[in-house]
Homo-oligomer: A and B are copies of this chain.
């Protein structure tokens, strides 16, 4: 039977220390809930940190790679989906996630938040970037949830899953 998938999207090389800490904690909590973690799969930034967090709690981790092979995959990814689509894979990331958490902000993460909204998904923002909070809330107030900590983010995910799945 189909498992619940929670996507954690965030910067790769430009992730801040806070983003990495949050991502690790999110991964751990997602795994502890019995959900599957989905990320962009590379061995960098939020993708890598979230996957590593999930493995500490014996979670299952999926990485949707933009590459055409697995040379850049995180060691903490169990299932590598190889798309060879570059940033085009961002739409697959959000479509495959029951809920999307944006952890940190950047152009790639912004594209994933926007694609999630366009596809009718709920998005939890875990970032102190105020411009992004204001912008995405203005785009779709009913679908954006602002979280100040990984714990609050997970609480929002639970509420969303109860109502929408």
Contact surface of A with B, Cβ cutoff 8 Å: 1-3, 5, 36, 60, 62, 64, 68, 70, 73, 75, 77-88, 90-92, 95-96, 105-108, 110-111, 114-115, 117-119, 129, 131-132, 134-135, 138-140
Contact = CB atoms under 8 A, between A and B. Distances in A.
Given A2-B73, A111-B114, A88 B79 contact: no
A105 B139 CA distance: 8
Given A107-B140, A115-B111, A134-B135, A85 B87 contact: no
Contacts of A70: 2
Contacts of A77: 2
A106 B84 CA distance: 20
B81 A92 contact: yes
A79 B78 CA distance: 12
Given A2-B73, A135-B132, A81 B96 contact: yes
Given A131-B135, A138-B131, A83 B95 contact: yes
A86 B68 contact: yes
Given A132-B135, A140-B107, A1 B75 contact: yes
Residue from A3, A5, A70, A83 with most neighbouring chain B CB atoms (10 Å): A83
A2 B87 contact: no
A136 B18 CA distance: 22
A115 B118 CA distance: 14
Contact of A85 (B73, B78, B81, B85): B85
B118 A111 contact: yes
A83 B92 contact: yes
